[in-house]
Structure 1
Amino acid sequence: MNKLLAIREHLSAAPHRSFFLAGALQGVLTVLWWVFDLTGRYGIAGSMTHWSIAPTWAHAFLMVYGFFPFFIFGFLFTTYPNWMNGDKVKPREYVTTCALMATGVALFYVGVLTHKAIIIAGIELMLIGWSIAVYVLFRILLTTPAEDKRHARVTSIALLMGWLGVAAYLLWLVTENQVVLNFARHAGIWFFLLPIVLTVSHRMIPFFSSRVLANYEMVRPYWMLWLMLACIAAHGSLQWLELSTYLWIVDFPLAGCAIYLSYRWGFLRSFSVSLLAVLHFSFAWLGVSMLLYGVQSLTYMLSGNMILGLAPLHALGIGFFASMILAMASRVTIGHSGRPLELDRLTWVLFLGFQTTAVLRILADIVPTIAPMLYVAAGLVWLTCFGLWAAKYAPVYWRQRVDGKPG
């Protein structure tokens, strides 16, 4: 009993602990379920299983709204008070949020196996938890005297868009209206995830780089951030309106800005410090993914062919989003557990191995003749690398800091 109480106390000692633990578990469970579905669907192992909703849309929701948000909320609950010199988030607020969202995700799985009504109940719980998070973070944003709130304003608006995306998915489950489903799909990527991950990268990567690289010039052009966010909003709107012919107009400038920032932030220099290199490596995927989007859109306009399929989406979702989650979560976990800010060899190898997931999933769309095998291979590599990462870091969240300090 005392041990259980100690675990509960440690899990609630800082916002990132419970959220990162839930995210680590979900990063394994959602892909494990997806690989199980794929192997049955393509007759690789077992037979096709019948789910209460289309597995493609279940997979999309679980990845976009049921995996990444745990890490995002854990990070923002920690950084908002630091960014703006505000009051710390209260334990009851972040523990309640995490518990509601984790319970909601658990019900989602149960509902996929049994009945859509249980999925609806799960998403309602997730929305309640998300609402608490939005309230708490907006309270910090609006009540602190900090002069520079630019990054926080962007991430706060993106969190609202994420809430709307979850609500739209819920509405689709109730009404089966395809328009709201399309909004939920595109809002999750373009109005929620990408603005947040880009904005956090814009704030943190130059800062972290300046702390460890000698004679480092910290470049953080806000005009470029606003331009990139405008391109992102335009891309999401065009996709939602099914105007893919014109995406290249905003995708190529977005790719150019991302590649420029990678260069100015010191991509090559970062490899002298592995804990920094994982952040730069992850960010480089943004430029790659937007180039792929631009090439696909321009080709579609000229020939009517979508030559790359979902390759650009997975370069963005796995290459940029998931890699950045691994990189940022590793750094936060190491730093906030009282350990030296150094990336050990295993984590570095797991991160590099995880990049294979993105490459395999991209190849699946480029080489469709062997796509099913590549789908499953990508999932298995994800499970191996992310699973080992979770096994290594999950115990940190329910244990005391090694330096004995609170938090």
Structure 2
Amino acid sequence: MPPIPRYRAPASQNLLAVFLSAGFRPFFLSAALWAAVGLPLSVAYLEAAAELPTRFPPSIWHAHEMAFGFGGAVVAGFLLTAIPNWTGRMPLQGAPLAGLVALWLLGRVAVLVSRSEPALVAAALDLAFPAVFIFVVAREIATGRNWRNLPMVAALALLFIGNLLTHLEAMDLAATGAIGAHIGVATLVMLVALIGGRITPSFTRNWLAKTSPAEDQPAPFDALDRFALAATLVALVAWVALPDTRSTGVLQIVAGAALFLRLMRWRGVRARAEPLLFVLHLGYGWVALGLLLMGGNELLSVTDSTAPLHALTAGAIGTMTLAVMTRATRGHTGRALVADRGTVAIYVAITLAAILRIAAPFTGDYYFVALAVAAGMWSLAYGLFALLYFGMLTGPRLQGEG
């Protein structure tokens, strides 16, 4: 394994230079701000309470901006921070990083105001960021000869394809918006299953070794883990290719059960004393629950499909994103890996958002109230992250070198 690069944040107190010293800084902040603002806009657009100057119909714009806008920024922030550890190469910094962030922002604006410009122009501007980012990641992995993480390039390619398919519908070329959105969500969920499955037991093992060395450690990666990941991949592919079928429902239940068994072997209950660690288990648990609910709903038809779907999006993606962003930000800026009260409030807010969004279809006449409160809790969670972590993301690292 290559050595972790030892790089300093800029010695000067130039805030812009510090902000552009690592990918997680601008991308995590951008993702949080867009999540806090974009979701209420989506809900207002979906419920005809607001009109947006976009070519995208409400449901597709909502899915597009959550999966490819918000999700794209989160994935970029994570990978640009993780890849130097994988390859031993210096991270993307300065002007190149600023250019990448600018492309992401340009895409958000282009899609939002796409009604006032040619559809092809909006698509080109929006797809520029994922296209360039795929090149950046592929170059780093190839140059560092870190072939183990080459599947990350495939995941980024799938996000690009899903994004492209939504634009084809906006251009009235094909009715591919829904499948494009499904590809985006499925890819993000699979990344949570893969990456969350790496870091959650690893961090738990390290924490237990320090705090309770006599306790049982998380089970090592074995055949059950391989089966759970394979079953998850098959279930997600089936959901994209053959939605609304009983066979897909069965596959989702098998995958959800396997992920739940996998999670139970990671000693998450023992980690409940540290919210910064326990929230990783909670986020992973939402993946298992989401697949179980989707499969159960397919077989029993107890509610509309949005409730189980939001267990995977608001629950798994929303929670795991905040779990990774808070932990990575604290660790890479020299803060203690301990959740303060504000961080705990972030976790509580995103959990309430997911629960309320899933429960909304069951609330009858109070559906719109539940939906609005769920959106408010989501915005509160990500708004609190932007507010409470702003100083960490824009200021120099504490405790010496990174």
Normalised to the residue count of structure 1, the TM-score between the two structures is 0.87
* DSSP-derived class of the 2:150 partner: helix
Shift of 1:125: 2.5
> Which residue of the partner structure matches residue 131 of structure 2?
131
Change (3 A) 1:321 1:94: same
Taking the aligned partners of 1:96 and 1:289, their CA distance within structure 2 comes to 36
Q: 1:200 aligns with which of 188, 195, 198?
A: 195
Q: Which SS does the other structure have where 1:342 is aligned?
A: coil
Shift of 1:176: 4.4
Counterpart secondary structure, 1:175: coil
Aligned to 1:44: none
- Do the aligned partners of residues 341 and 227 (structure 1) sit closer, same or farther apart at CA in structure 2, a change above 3 Å counting? closer
What is the Cα deviation at residue 238 of structure 1? 4.2
Tell me how far 1:16 sits from its aligned partner. 0.9
2:76 aligned to which of 63, 68, 73: 73
Residue of structure 2 in register with 1:360 after alignment: 356
Aligned residue for 2:5? Answer: none
Q: How far apart are residue 48 of structure 1 and its match?
A: 5.0
Q: CA deviation at 1:243?
A: 4.5
**Among candidates 47, 60, 65, match of residue 63 of structure 2:** 60
Give the letter aligned to residue 326 of structure 1: L
Counterpart CA distance in 1 for 2:400 and 2:393 is 14
Match of 2:85 in 1: 82
Moved more, 218-227 or 158-167: 218-227
Q: Quick one: which amino acid aligns to residue 339 of structure 1?
A: R
Counterpart of 1:7, as a letter, is L
Shift of 1:49: 3.2
Q: CA deviation at 1:87?
A: 4.8
Question: Are the counterparts in 2 of residues 108 and 118 from structure 1 also a CA contact under 8 Å?
Answer: no
Picking from 154, 157, 161, the partner of 1:160 is 157
Q: CA deviation at 1:218?
A: 4.8
Residue 167 of structure 1 deviates from its aligned partner by 1.4
Contact 2:279-2:323 within 8 A present in 1 as well = yes
Aligned to 2:208: 213
Please state how far the C-alpha of 1:35 moved relative to its aligned partner: 4.0
Q: Secondary structure at the match of 2:267?
A: coil
Q: State how 1:326-405 maps to structure 2 within 5 Å.
A: 326-405=322-401
> Do the aligned partners of residues 326 and 140 (structure 1) sit closer, same or farther apart at CA in structure 2, a change above 3 Å counting?
same
CA contact (8 A) 2:235 2:251 kept: yes
CA distance in 1, matches of 2:383, 2:359: 23
Q: Secondary structure at the match of 1:266?
A: coil
Q: Distance in 2 between matches of 1:22 and 1:238?
A: 30
Residue 303 of structure 2 aligns with which residue? Answer: 307
Contact in 2 for aligned 1:255/1:287 (Cα 8 Å): yes
Cα deviations by residue, 1:236-278 (Å, 9 ceiling, x for unpaired): 3444344422212211121112111211111201112221111
- SS of 1:49's partner is coil
CA contact (8 A) 1:252 1:291 kept: yes
Distance 1:289 1:255 in 2: 7
Is residue 57 of structure 2 the alignment partner of residue 49 of structure 1?
no
Aligned match for 1:15, one of 19, 23, 36: 23
Which residue number in structure 2 is paired with residue 102 of structure 1?
105
Distance 1:330 1:118, change over 3 A: farther
1:302 paired residue number: none
1:319 corresponds to which of 315, 320, 336: 315
Partners in 2 of 1:27 and 1:384 — Cα distance?
Answer: 10
Equivalent-residue separation in structure 2 for 1:116 and 1:306 (angstroms): 42
Kept in 2: contact 1:252–1:290 (CA 8 A)? yes
Contact 1:110 1:118 in 2 (8 A): no
Q: d(CA) in 2 for partners of 1:51 and 1:128? A: 21
CA distance in 1, matches of 2:95, 2:198: 28
Tell me the percent identity: 25
Is the 8 Å Cα contact of residues 110 and 125 (structure 2) preserved in structure 1?
no
Question: Following TM superposition, by how much is the alpha carbon of 1:175 offset from its aligned partner in structure 2, in angstroms?
Answer: 2.6
Q: How many residues align?
A: 384
Note if contact 2:163-2:181 (Cα within 8 Å) is conserved in structure 1: no
Deviation, 1:320, is: 0.6
Structure 1: unaligned runs, 5 residues or longer: 42-46, 300-304
CA shift at 1:285, angstroms?
Answer: 0.9
Higher mean displacement: 319-328 or 161-170: 161-170
1:224, distance to aligned residue in structure 2 (A): 2.8
Q: CA deviation at 1:223?
A: 6.0
Which amino acid in structure 1 is aligned with residue 26 of structure 2? S
Name whichever of 92-101 and 314-323 sits farther off.
92-101
- Of 162, 170, 174, 1:173 maps to 170
Gap change, CA 1:174 and 1:254, over 3 Å in 2: same
Q: Residue 237 of structure 2 aligns with which residue?
A: 236
TM-score scaled by structure 2? 0.88
Separation in 1, partners of 2:63, 2:223? 32
Closer/same/farther in 2, CA of residues 89 and 48 from structure 1, 3 Å limit: closer
* RMSD of aligned Cα (Å): 2.4
How far apart in 2 are the matches of 1:336 and 1:368? Answer: 45
Taking the aligned partners of 2:390 and 2:79, their CA distance within structure 1 comes to: 19
Q: Which residue of 2 aligns with 1:143?
A: 143
CA–CA distance in 2 between the matches of 1:227 and 1:120?
Answer: 40
For 2:80 and 2:52, the matched residues in 1 are separated by: 38
Is the contact made by 2:189 and 2:287 (CA closer than 8 Å) also made in structure 1? no
Deviation of the 1:83 alpha carbon: 2.4
Give the conservation status (yes or no) of the 8 Å contact 2:42–2:61: no
